[in-house]
Structure 1
Amino acid sequence: MSPKVLRITGWVLTILLGALLLFSAFRKIAPDEATITEAAAVGIDAATFFTIGIIETVSLILFIIPRTGVLGTLLLASYMGGAIVTHILHQQPFFMAAIVEALIWITAVIRFPELKQRLIAA
């Protein structure tokens, strides 16, 4: 693929992930009754849920900004790893979280060549 196609693909994936994660963070920062009930089912109170939403938002902002994108990638990957573990511990489907985790890494490898060199180079 040409560099231009890779750049466009990287930004399209970034926008899609950004929209998905922003929606997720918004549900945590300004939850409705159903969201609070879902969180309580896995043992998360409203204050903790709010904090998780702030962490998700900050990580997403760092991921979107090119200069801090690698740090944002690491933070989002860690965040999604925690989400996967939480789903597994409570016998809930975790495939969506795993797909988002994979998309984060695919997007990062496309957007940040230095990360690709570190991960793929022998």
Structure 2
Amino acid sequence: MKAKTKNITGWVLSGLIGLMLGASAIDKIIGSEHALQTGASFGLSAGTYSVLGMIEIFSVILFLYPRTGILGTLLLSSYLGGAIATHLQHHQSILFPMAFEAVAWIAAVIRFPELRLRIWNDKSIGQV
């Protein structure tokens, strides 16, 4: 895959993750009826769910900003891992949090060559 294609693909995937998780975070922060019902189904108060929304939006911002993208990837991965565990504990589908986590990592590996270097120990990454 050419460098320009990788760059576009990485940013498109990152943008999708940013839009979806950003909307989810804003929903939690403003306390919409749907968000409050979901939080209540997990046994969380409105205040706690709002804090989770703030953590989520902070992680998304770090993920989208190139200088802090790797840190954002790690925070999103942790956040979504907690979502997966919560869904499992409450016998709910884990499809969405798993899909978001997979797409976030795919985008991160495409956007950040240093991750590819660490994951696959590929010495040719820095070369054109």
- TM-score tier after normalising by the smaller chain length: over 0.9
Q: Map 1:72-111 onto structure 2 (within 5 A).
A: 72-111=72-111
Alpha-carbon distance, 1:46 to partner: 0.6
In the alignment, does 2:27 pair up with 1:21? no
Query: What do you get for the CA RMSD once the two structures are aligned?
Result: 1.0
Deviating beyond 3 angstroms after TM superposition, the runs of 4 or more aligned structure 1 residues are none
Query: Percent identity over the alignment?
Result: 49
TM-score under structure 1 normalisation?
0.97
- Using the alignment, how far apart are the partners of 1:88 and 1:33 within structure 2? 23
In the alignment, does 2:104 pair up with 1:118? no
Give the total of aligned pairs.
122
> What's the secondary structure of 1:16's corresponding residue?
helix
1:72-120 deviation line (CA, Å, top 9, x unaligned): 0000000000000000000000011101110010000000000111011
TM-score under structure 2 normalisation?
0.92
Residue in 1 aligned with 2:36? Answer: 36
Stretches of structure 2 that go unaligned for 5 or more consecutive residues are 123-128
